Amino acid sequence: MFFLLDAFFATSFLLNQGLEKTLVQGEIITIGNELTSGMTLDVNAWYAAGRLTASGLRVTRITSVGDDYPSVSRALKSAMEASRFVIVTGGLGSTEDDLTNEIVSKALNRPLCLDKEMFAIIKRHASMQGTEVCSSLEKMAWVPDGSRMLSPEGRACGFSLVENEVRLYFLPGVPEQMRYLIDHVVIPELRKLYKKLPVTICRTLKVYGLNEPHIAEIFRDLEKKTGKAVLGFYPHFPENHITVSLTAGDAREAVQELDRIEKQIRNKLGTALFATGNDSMAEVVGKLLVAKQLTVSVAESCTGGLIGHLLTAVPGSSRYFLGGIVSYSNEAKMELLGVRAGTLEAKGAVSNETVQEMAEGIRNRLHSDLGIAVSGIAGPEGGSKEKPVGTVHVALASAEGTVSRKYRFWGNRQAVKLNSATMALDWMRRYANGDPLLPGI
């Protein structure tokens, strides 16, 4: 109930809660006044929790506290009560409010000692940046007695301790470094330590062009057929992402079962499924165009350059993307794309006729296999009764001729632009795949 979905950070609905009670349990503590004051969004806890869960470990609590002794000490002691491992991030830097080392030293009654290996890394980094090693930098190398340095390839620094059989990891708050240590040290160590950990494998299926009620219906159909797998639904406007995760005794077993389930879901999703895994729509399009040896060019009006930007976000896109024209004004449409004045007068800039001439114009000028054009009203102004905000025409010109469709997209300016650009990319994908284009209104 109440599915008012935020564009990016939506609630999720899960089927078949599959978390095993027997998993190895741990907690995450993130330290920083910027977290408790709401200045910074806690992406570190989110990342660590996701990675640990996917590795078959269970996070029972995430605690964020400010950089002060009573708060950190209390959080640390409380987390150690019921955990096999505790991940602590933040407060390892060189500024005055980075107090984690001192607090841990005091809370666990372990004096601070200079770690020579860490000090050497700090000196090397400082000299690379042309900075002197002042006392505040040296401070970072003083760690609680009994600590073990974590610095794989010198790329990030943290330390680890074992206290009352609880494994404590202290990681920097800089997201890039924290993530590196989680992936390259913490998870491999914990998995080695708890060899009998079940394996959780998660796959993401990306969908464009199916709305939420439609997907909810597919979920209901699947409910009985997915066994122990957990299905997740994550709107990622304008796409929808479906996750399928499964916990099993070993990886092969999990993969086999996931393959079986994925096949069922694929059947339901049809051509709306555009990627499995991490590939973006633009990456999928790029791979297809390379495989089919097709080149594209784009003529953009309301998207303002976004289609070109998305296409060129992919390394190597110059192999298939020849260029584009952003024809924001009518003059640009005529001057640069050869759209006829008569068409603009009789049908308007937002019409099938204009967008078809735009697509043909860019294709002819750049001699590409495909010419894609988009023209529409992104809003908030410029709408009318006949052509309300969100009215967008898409056209595709190829050797076989030119087709176009009219769409009606919802949301603000940004949403209309993004949906229009994604639709243009989806047309490229469907053309290259030989799939039918998405119908319009």
The residue among 113 and 336 lying less far from its own copies, judged by its C-beta, is 336
- Tell me the residue length of the chain: 441
Question: Which 63-102 positions form the footprint of its own copies (CB under 8 A)?
Answer: 63-66, 71, 75, 78, 90, 93-95, 97
3-state helix, strand, coil in the chain (%, to 5): 40, 25, 35
Does 354 contact its own copies by CB under 8 A? no
The dihedral formed by the CA atoms of 381, 384, 388 and 390, expressed in degrees to the nearest 10: -30
- Beta-carbon contacts of residue 418 (< 8 Å; ≥ 6 apart): 237, 238, 306
* Binder of its own copies out of 132, 153, 176, 400 (CB under 8 A): 176
Q: Which stretch binds its own copies (CB under 8 A): 103-111, 361-369, 401-409, 427-435?
A: 361-369
Min dist. Cβ of residue 1 to its own copies (A): 5
Task: Check: CB of residue 233 under 8 Å from CB of residue 240.
Answer: yes
Core vs surface per residue 240-257: b (16+ CB within 10 A) or e: bebbbbbbbeeeeebbeb
C-alpha–C-alpha distance, residues 191 and 189, integer Å: 5
Does 229 contact its own copies by CB under 8 A? no
The residue among 162 and 216 lying less far from its own copies, judged by its C-beta, is 216
Q: Which stretch binds its own copies (CB under 8 A): 125-133, 350-358, 392-400, 424-432?
A: 125-133
Query: Helix/strand/coil (H, E, C) string of 373-412?
Result: EEEECCCCCCCCCCCCCCEEEEEEEECCEEEEEEEECCCC
Cis-peptide into 380, omega within 30 deg: yes
Min dist. Cβ of residue 100 to its own copies (A): 13
C-alpha–C-alpha distance, residues 108 and 92, integer Å: 17
Question: Which 398-427 positions form the footprint of its own copies (CB under 8 A)?
Answer: 413-414, 417
Does 390 contact its own copies by CB under 8 A? no
- Beta-carbon contacts of residue 180 (< 8 Å; ≥ 6 apart): 152, 155, 156
Does 277 contact its own copies by CB under 8 A? no
Does 37 contact its own copies by CB under 8 A? yes
* Binder of its own copies out of 86, 273, 311, 423 (CB under 8 A): 311
Q: Which stretch binds its own copies (CB under 8 A): 189-197, 269-277, 309-317, 402-410?
A: 309-317
Does 384 contact its own copies by CB under 8 A? no
State the residue for tokens 């796959």: 203
Q: Which stretch binds its own copies (CB under 8 A): 4-12, 101-109, 352-360, 427-435?
A: 4-12
Min dist. Cβ of residue 95 to its own copies (A): 5
91 CB burial (10 A radius; 0-12, 13-18, 19+): buried
* Binder of its own copies out of 188, 227, 270, 316 (CB under 8 A): 316
Token pair belonging to 181: 């240590």
The residue among 91 and 144 lying less far from its own copies, judged by its C-beta, is 91
Does 11 contact its own copies by CB under 8 A? yes
* Among the listed residues 149, 169, 146, the one whose alpha carbon sits nearest the alpha carbon of residue 89: 169
By rule CB under 8 A, what string of x and - marks binding of each residue 231-270 to its own copies? Answer: -x-x--------x---------------------------
Does 304 contact its own copies by CB under 8 A? yes
* Binder of its own copies out of 56, 144, 158, 173 (CB under 8 A): 173
Does 303 contact its own copies by CB under 8 A? yes
* Binder of its own copies out of 86, 104, 118, 156 (CB under 8 A): 156
Total binding residues toward its own copies, as defined by CB under 8 A: 110
C-alpha–C-alpha distance, residues 275 and 270, integer Å: 12
